[in-house]
Structure 1
Amino acid sequence: MSHLFPVYSRWDVEPISAEGSQIIDKNGKHYLDFTSGIGVCNLGHRPAKVQEAVENQLNSFWHVSNLFIQSKQDEAAKLLADAAGLELVFFSNSGAEANEAAIKLARKATGRNKIITFTNSFHGRTFAAMSATGQEKIQIGFGPLLQTFKHVPFNDLAVITEELDEDTAAVMLEIVQGEGGIHLATKEFLHELQILCQSNGTLLIVDEIQTGMGRTGKPFAYQHFNLNPDIVTVAKGLGSGFPIGAVIGSNKLGEAFGPGSHGSTFGGNPISIAAATVTMQTIFDSGFLKEVTKKADYLRNSLIELLSDPLVVDVRQLGLMAGIELRKEAAPLLAHLREKGLLLLPAGENVIRILPPLSATYEEMDEAMNIVSAVLNEVHAKV
């Protein structure tokens, strides 16, 4: 009997070691991991420079609290703010906490209450983040949600124009809806949405929890569309597996988050900051991001070939974040892929999500796509 609450549908895989794009389980079986810890291990498992930085910090101190000046925290904040084109950072422990802080910040800074989000969005499982999420399956059973969140169809400017009013504090969105099925915002929608927000005094919050940290070939996905958000949230890939999230905001929001207005006991923990600093120094390098873009183009060619498979409805991609929409449920195919030694994720009921480490090799991408193609062929042959 397990003493853990059964909130996860766990795979029959127990890792004992991992490095780069590879996981080895307790039976000695090798897996090619193209889940990246659900978008966390963007540099692969146990990147050497991150491990070295963490070990150095472990030999210094682990925790002192945010009552103390911590210059390394400020150095990490500058790296993050500069990459986002913003000025101020608050460190949290997770993406959900970052989104909670962003929601509080938007409401306090504007003095308004309503926040508009989108159907099929995912912003976390804490209460405000769950209320912001546009998926009923996340919310069922928890009673009345926070009433000041309004969900509207994604990429539909007409509906959001009608919903936006003088009490709208912020519009909050993902550039790519990861958990919702790898749905991409259109350039036209994002451009008009930004104009609409600016004209109404409404803040634009971009949730980059999964799309940030180089996942799409730029530090943040909104940078593909020349957006200038007021608030950006980030987590997952920020710490290479160590728990850390962040809210990045513009200078004009500084007064709203003054002393005592928000806080986190473990936010900006020295160990996580050490991991995040080296992670950012690596990922935000222009040469590294250029190589991610090349890999994304390479992966796209393999994905396009899958469109000829009778089981495939569509493929959608931005950078090294891709989804294969199927004509059937994804879960059985994912189990079959695991048997073949490839780890991939679902995104909704019928989408296979591909999140390779940004450090994955071209040979590993070939191996992964060959396995996907072979499994699709096997399943189609049985049908």
Structure 2
Amino acid sequence: MSSYIKDLLQTHPGKNFDLHDAHLNTQMVRVLKTIGYDRVYTRASGPYLYDSQENEYLDLLSGFGVFALGRNHPEVVQALRDVLDAELPDLVQMDVSLLSGLLAEALLKHCPPKLSKMFFCNSGAEANEAAIKFARYTTRREKIVYCEHGFHGLTLGALSLNGEEVFREGFGPLLPGCVAVPFDNLPALENALKNQDVAAFIFEPIQGKGVNIPSDNYLPEAAKLCQKYGTLFVADEVQTGMGRTGKFWAVEHWGVEPDMILMAKALSGGFVPVGAVAMTARIMDAVFNRMDRAVVHGSTFSKNNMAMAAGLATLKVIEEEKLVENAAKIGGEIVDGIRAMIPKYDFLKQVRGKGLMIAVEFGSPDGLLRKAAFAGLEAANKGLFSQTITIPLFKNHRILSQVAGHGMNVVKFLPPLVVTEKDRDWILRAMDQVIGDTQEVGGAIKDLGKNLISHALKQKAGA
């Protein structure tokens, strides 16, 4: 038996950045080197990454939510081995596979009763593309309403619903008929729907960019408006779903029942890309309404046995290890712990989140010296202060985190749902020290700020 991949790994150690610089995204290599994230990871387990020196890192990105179970969960690994060992016929196409039927059945048990049909695809963006098409065909309307600052993917249809201009710039013209409204604004939503020409309102229950949480009445009232004006109510749970927020679906926090729920990321188990759309029978039957339309929408690699097995194993682990409950408990304790630091640190303004989807927001302090330091960073590049948190978290405490979006001083934590009380304490100790260090204008913020400002100004000059 050939050990081809093993041999490649052994004969090219540490070549990651050279190969990417030569053949892939050179700018990403520059970014990682600039902020000091240029580590070579050699293995991973659960919520932890290990570099070539066997240093342990706590991953609070979890692949943007993909690794809800952590990395290399043995239950998913075994499920994939079982599929390979079984030598199953796969992607026969003129066939219907057993594993896709079983995964659809298992997922729908977690959905509102009115959602009885499932469509599989390969990603969250594909799920959004499907939702756009299905909504238009079902209602025979063209318009789609989405929220400002939302994120639904980067393919052309999904990009047309993307509320961040930085992703849209230069890629137009996008799909016609896509209308943005402010998030958490019911009058604006009703104004967009009142002409009864909108196919769907597609929304994130909690916005990933910024971790923006709606008011208590927003989603219930939005659902009523959609019903009133004949618009489908579509929840994009690609990042928020499958336990992330301390409920299986984030919409459960507000007691609403969408006409479609979009999912991906965590469903993969961290191995095989998979996305899905749960929907009402009305929508499925409208799109696939005759035998000659049985293949009117699909995806070549969807329903492949490896992806379906990964999804089934993921659901099994979530249920058996009570990961939804763990997300609610540990996430709440992290939010409470960081929130308790607000009186100590005047840069720290707000901590928000549900479950293990957490945002820590910073802003200008009251003291003159600190205010001037903050203003200097903002003048160089809006949102730069947040890097004085994420970079020391990584360099000094081996915690991998991210900024919650472009131009905002919000640090986002999206840990695997398997994090423990030990990890909670690790996060709280590190945040206390890192935020405390920013209070010393002549120390950490000055040194790090100089470096970040220098790079920011160079980028502006080269733009």
Instruction: State TM-score, norm by structure 2.
Output: 0.79
The structure where helix makes up a greater share of residues is 2
Instruction: Name 1:337's counterpart in structure 2.
Output: 393
Mapped to 1, the partners of 2:178 and 2:213 lie a distance apart of 22
* 2:339 corresponds to 1:304: yes
AA of the residue aligned to 2:358: A
- SS at 2:352 equivalent: strand
The alignment status of 1:30 with 2:56, answered yes or no, reads yes
Contact 2:68 2:266 in 1 (8 A): yes
Aligned amino acid, residue 324 of structure 1: V
The equivalent position to 2:262 in structure 1, one of 204, 229, 233, is 233
Q: For 1:107 and 1:39, how far apart are their aligned partners in 2?
A: 29
Partner of 2:375: none
Decide whether the 8 Å contact of 1:43 with 1:357 is kept in 2.
Answer: yes
Q: Map Cα deviations across residues 39-83 of structure 1 (whole Å, 9 max, x no partner).
A: 111111111111110111122247334332211111101111121
Q: How does 1:1-383 map to 2 (within 5 A)?
A: 1-6=21-26, 8=28, 9-10=31-32, 11-61=37-87, 63-85=90-112, 86-164=115-193, 165-178=195-208, 180-241=209-270, 242-258=272-288, 259-284=294-319, 287-308=322-343, 309-327=345-363, 329=384, 330-340=386-396, 341-348=398-405, 349-381=408-440, 382=443, 383=445
Supply the distance in 2 between the matched residues of 1:168 and 1:200 (Cα, whole angstroms).
Answer: 8
Task: List gaps (5 residues or longer) in structure 2.
Answer: 1-20, 289-293, 364-382, 446-463
Alpha-carbon distance in 1 for matches of 2:59, 2:265: 16
Instruction: Provide Cα deviations, 1:233-252, integer angstroms capped at 9, x if missing partner.
Output: 00111112121111110111
| Greater RCO (Cα-Cα under 8 Å, separation 6 or more) | 1
Equivalent residue letter for 2:23: H
**3-state SS in 1 of match to 2:141:** coil
**TM-score normalized by the length of structure 1:** 0.96
Report if aligned partners of 1:61, 1:270 keep a CA contact under 8 Å in 2: no
Query: Residues of 2 paired with 1:207 and 1:243: CA distance?
Result: 17
Q: CA deviation at 1:333?
A: 2.3
Contact 1:322 1:355 in 2 (8 A): yes
Name the amino acid aligned to 2:167: I
Equivalent AA in structure 2 for residue 51 of structure 1? V
Which whole-Å CA distance do the structure 2 matches of 1:371 and 1:75 have between them?
43
2:250 and 2:27 map into 1 onto residues whose CA distance is: 30
Q: In structure 2, how many angstroms separate the alpha carbons of the residues matched to 1:220 and 1:145? A: 30
Q: State the shift of 1:201 in Å.
A: 1.0
Determine the C-alpha separation between the residues in 2 that align with 1:133 and 1:289. 28
Root-mean-square deviation over aligned CA pairs:
1.6
Distance apart, 1:27 and its partner CA: 3.5
Name the CA distance, whole Å, in 1 between partners of 2:199 and 2:321: 35
Q: 2 CA distance for matches of 1:363 and 1:82?
A: 33
Q: Percent identity?
A: 34
Tell me which amino acid in the other structure corresponds to 2:421. Y
Aligned residues between the structures: 382
Deviates more, 1:297-306 or 1:245-254: 297-306
Residues 119, 276 of structure 2: 8 Å contact kept: yes
Long gaps (5+) in structure 1: none
Amino acid at match of 1:174: E
Structure 1 letter corresponding to 2:25 = F
Q: Tell me, in whole angstroms, the C-alpha distance in 1 between the residues paired with 2:119 and 2:249.
A: 17
Which one has a bigger Cα radius of gyration?
Answer: 2
Q: Secondary structure at the match of 1:366?
A: helix
Query: Larger deviation: 75-84 or 303-312?
Result: 303-312
Amino acid corresponding to residue 50 of structure 1 in structure 2: V
**In 2, are the aligned partners of 1:123 and 1:130 still within 8 Å (CA)?**
yes
**d(CA) in 2 for partners of 1:158 and 1:378?**
43
Q: Distance in 2 between matches of 1:95 and 1:54?
A: 22
How far did residue 7 of structure 1 move? 6.4
